[in-house]
A = this chain, B = another copy of it.
Amino acid sequence: MEEIHTIDHLRRKIKTARQAGKLIGFVPTMGYLHAGHMSLVERACRENDFVVVSIFVNPTQFGPNEDYDAYPRDEKHDLAILRKAGVDLAFMPTADLMYPDGYSTYVVQEGQLTATLCGRSRPGHFRGVTTIVTKLFNMVQPDRAYFGQKDAQQVAVIRQMVRDLNFDIQVVVCPIVREPDGLAMSSRNAYLDHSQRSDALVLSKALFEARAAIEAGQRDADKVRALVRERISSVPAVQIDYVEIVDADSLKPLKRLQGRVLIAVAAKIGLPRLIDNIQLTLD
């Protein structure tokens, strides 16, 4: 595996791979890699001839009062496990390289997809995501790009962006990877102390209970939402940001559960803010 720090170097290596007829897979990450990331990386390695992973904590997707500076970083560990997984290139640009002086172009998405859920609590977040993903897509020009279902709204936004801006890239979405006790893997879990970590379990537990209720026949979104809210509220240290039940593609709120249904939650456990979701396909 080569560690790449400049755009020119990245382009040269990718050009060589492409000229050799290789299919290129790309996994954009913010580093501090866990088993969730690695499920994307492993799938990319299985499905492509040449795999690029970027590690970049993207400043433009953090709000002014968010955790950009505190975001956990461990380059050495990241590189070791990427190497072991068989990745070809690890791209680790600096913020100055990605956003040089005078930087002024952004990709924005209007409407429901970015206005709802995390878009409401994190204004500007998705503008940062669509902008950095566009930049990375243009640098890597992959055949396939891998994203985690954990960031369900990001998936919907990226899919729409790829369609709207006509990127010739296949977006592959991989399931959420969970700890044995149900906690969705997240780099931000590193923020949790012992008691917060135990409190945080209520998010996945509430979602699993919602799934059980739906599997038992419940189709009323309000009732399912009430069930999830009530369950999460039973842990006083957990502050709900939102509990939403929406169509998984349009992210429009559902009254009656039907089609591809996304149940998404965001909550603060002390300072750390976590998200989780489940997705179901119903007749």
- Chain A positions near chain B (C-beta within 8 angstroms): 7, 11, 102-111, 113, 130-131, 134-135, 138-139, 141, 160-161, 164-168
User: Which residue of the partner chain B has the closest CB to A167?
Assistant: B138
Q: Which residues of B contact A102 (CB under 8 A)?
A: 111, 160
Given the interface pairs A141-B168, A166-B135, the reply to whether A160 lies near B105 with Cβ below 8 Å is: yes
Provide the bound-state CA to CA distance between A108 and B103, in Å: 12
Does A160 lie within 8 Å of B110, measured CB to CB? Answer: no
Residue among A110, A130, A141, A165 having the largest count of chain B Cβ atoms under 10 Å: A165
Residue among A7, A103, A109, A134 having the largest count of chain B Cβ atoms under 10 Å: A134
Given the interface pairs A107-B106, A130-B105, the reply to whether A135 lies near B168 with Cβ below 8 Å is: no
Partner of A105, one of B104, B109, B138: B109
Chain A at the B interface: SS class: mixed
Does A138 lie within 8 Å of B107, measured CB to CB? Answer: no
Q: Which residues of B contact A130 (CB under 8 A)?
A: 105
Does B138 lie within 8 Å of A103, measured CB to CB? Answer: no
Provide the bound-state CA to CA distance between A139 and B7, in Å: 22
The 6 closest A-B pairs by CB, nearest first: A105-B164, A138-B166, A104-B111, A104-B110, A105-B161, A135-B166
Instruction: For residue A104, give the distance in angstroms from its CB to the closest CB of chain B.
Output: 4
Provide the bound-state CA to CA distance between A200 and B203, in Å: 68
Does A165 lie within 8 Å of B109, measured CB to CB? Answer: no
Residue among A130, A135, A138, A141 having the largest count of chain B Cβ atoms under 10 Å: A138
Provide the bound-state CA to CA distance between A173 and B181, in Å: 60
Does B165 lie within 8 Å of A104, measured CB to CB? Answer: no
Does A113 lie within 8 Å of B106, measured CB to CB? Answer: no
Does A138 lie within 8 Å of B108, measured CB to CB? Answer: no
Partner of A164, one of B103, B110, B164, B167: B103
Does A109 lie within 8 Å of B113, measured CB to CB? Answer: no
5 A-B interface contacts by CB (under 8 A)? A7-B166, A102-B160, A104-B160, A107-B107, A138-B167
Does B105 lie within 8 Å of A105, measured CB to CB? Answer: no
Q: Which residues of B contact A164 (CB under 8 A)?
A: 103-105, 135
Does A105 lie within 8 Å of B135, measured CB to CB? Answer: no
